[in-house]
Amino acid sequence: MLRRVLIGLAAAAAMALPAAAQDHYVIGLTGAMTGPAAGSLAPAVEGVRLYVERLNAAGGVNGKKVELILQDDAAEPSKAAANVKKLLSQDNVILLINASLSSTYAPMLAEVKRAKVPVLYMGAVCPKDVLPPAADALQFCSTGFAPGYDTRAVLGFVKEVTQEPVRIAFASMAIPISRGELDYAADYAKTLGMTPVDHETIPPPTPDYTPFATKLKDANPNWVFSWAPWVTEVRTVEALRKLGWDGSYIATAHLEAEGELPRVKDPKFYVVGANALFAEDSPTHREVLAAAKAGNAKYPPSLMTEGWLGGMVVEAALRKAGWPADAAKVADALADLKVDTKGLRGGVLEWTKTNHYRTHQYYRVYRWDTDKSAIVRVKDWIPYEVK
């Protein structure tokens, strides 16, 4: 009997040992590295991985290395839940990163709340729980795109540059967040004196966008606004151009925009986004390029901005939490944090006790310039205070 008890105690001690013996920071990530959403989210995962590798090569944070444990959830809620359970109970992570679809949030949060470990949404859509004035104590978001504010920036720009009356149509993907944002945009457009003429909701796996583009064109808009995953945004504008529509098209500047604008070569295709494009060639952009090259990255560096920013947040939070750090210290650090985005965004990414989204959101507008054969900035940072 005694022997059994001793063996049991030894086994328990062995299981507890990794946590007690950790001489470095351990953070975990569950992300859509494969599956239907991987095109947008897998590069973000690679971005944060490269950032952490570079950080460790430079000595880590507070003299300690950072271990980033990556788990693929393929954007499936059940896999995300299993990943989080493993990261929290076996790996004892002090910070969890979610780079997946919003459908993974609920099962993940059930585990997170139990373990009281903070979550950073990176490249994934920000949930309402991070918004002021009642941000959840454990949830934080660094993702660039932002429902509500994106629409205000886009429609504000449209109003500013258009002399004639604006007849605007909307193209969303058949997912709740995209449809909801453009329903809001249609209402908001009316307050700006614009006339909404159509709203097409396009299913994600559509083999041919032309039927939807035909209906949009028939509504005779002079602007079309799309707030959707990039595939819907770009295929809709290409289908409209194929049909001979020559109005102006404006969409969210997802990270894919950098590589796609030179392919589409459309001077009336505007993209509005919170991240500076690599066309700006800032020192930080050059750092990302160098890290991607050194790390033999699978994805183009232009797709890694969200991941790189996530890395900046991790570094700043761990630095502030000090050593030794636990989940509570990291959560406290995140709740009062200013991250210098070093030119990747329009200003600092700042979180407070009541606002885990950001205190200010900034937007730039870009388009393709045929004469210069390059992406050009059409409008510099437009700031919005997040209340």
Partner 1 sequence: MHDSDSPVQLLVNIVVLSAIYALIACGYVLIYRVSRVLNLAHGELMMLGAYILLTVASLFTQNAVAALVAALSLSLAVGLLVYLFLMRKMTGEMVLAAVLTTIALGILLRGLVVLIWSAQQQYPAQALALDNPPIVLPGGARISAFAAILVVATGLIYGALFAFLRFGRWGVRMRAAGQNPLLAAQRGINLHVIYALAWGLSTLTGALAGMLIALDSGLTGTMVTIGLKAFPAALVGGLDSLAGALLGSLIVGTAEVLLVYINPLLSDVVPFLVLIAMLIVRPWGLFGTREELDRV
**Among residues 34 and 282, whose Cβ is nearest to partner 1?**
34
Regarding beta strands 269-273 and 360-369, do their DSSP bridges make them parallel or antiparallel, or are they unpaired? Answer: antiparallel
Please, what is the minimum distance in Å from the beta carbon of residue 172 to partner 1? 9
Distance in Å, CB of 195 to partner 1, minimum: 15
The DSSP secondary-structure symbol of 280 reads: G
Q: Which is nearer to partner 1, 62 or 103 (CB)?
A: 103
Radius of gyration of the chain measured on its C-alpha atoms: 22
CB 271 → partner 1: shortest distance, Å? 15
Please report how close the Cβ of residue 330 comes to partner 1 at its closest, in angstroms: 30
Q: Which residues bind partner 1 (CB under 8 A)?
A: 33-36, 38-39, 42-43, 174, 200-212, 214-215, 217-218, 220, 230-231, 234-235, 238, 241-244, 256, 260, 263, 298-300, 303
Rounded to whole angstroms, how far apart are CA atoms 172 and 111?
Answer: 32
Task: For residues 98 and 116, give the distance between their C-alpha atoms in angstroms, rounded to a whole number.
Answer: 15
Nearer to partner 1 by C-beta: 301 or 346?
Answer: 301
Q: Which residues pair with 96 in a beta bridge?
A: 28, 119
CA dihedral 203, 237, 270, 252 (to 10 degrees): 10
Nearer to partner 1, 149 or 249 (CB): 249
* DSSP reduced 3-state for 160: helix
Q: By C-beta, is 132 or 247 nearer to partner 1?
A: 247
Nearer to partner 1, 33 or 153 (CB): 33
- Residue 68 vs 202, nearer CB to partner 1: 202
C-alpha to C-alpha distance for 140 and 229, rounded to whole angstroms: 22
Coil/strand/helix, residue 176: helix
Minimum CB separation from partner 1 for residue 200, in Å?
A: 6
Q: How far is the CB of 241 from partner 1 (least distance, A)?
A: 8
Mapped to the 3 state alphabet, what secondary structure does 185-209 carry?
A: HHHHHHHCCCEEEEEEEECCCCCCC
Q: Output the smallest distance, CB 31 to partner 1, in A.
A: 11
Among residues 171, 132, 161, 142, the alpha carbon closest in space to that of 252 is found at 171
Amino acid at 357: Y
Which residue lies nearer to partner 1 by CB, 156 or 247? 247
Shortest separation between residue 163's beta carbon and partner 1, angstroms:
24
Q: For residues 271 and 224, what is the distance between their CA atoms, to the nearest angstrom? A: 12
Nearest CA to 145 out of 31, 46, 226, 36 is that of 226
Q: Least distance from C-beta 303 to partner 1, angstroms? A: 7
How far apart, in whole angstroms, are the C-alpha atoms of residue 89 and residue 228? 36
Closer CB to partner 1, 42 or 87, in the complex:
42
Residue found by looking up tokens 């994934």 in the block: 124
List b or e across 43-65, with b for residues whose CB sees 16 or more CB atoms inside 10 angstroms. bbbbbbbbbbbbbbeeebbeebe
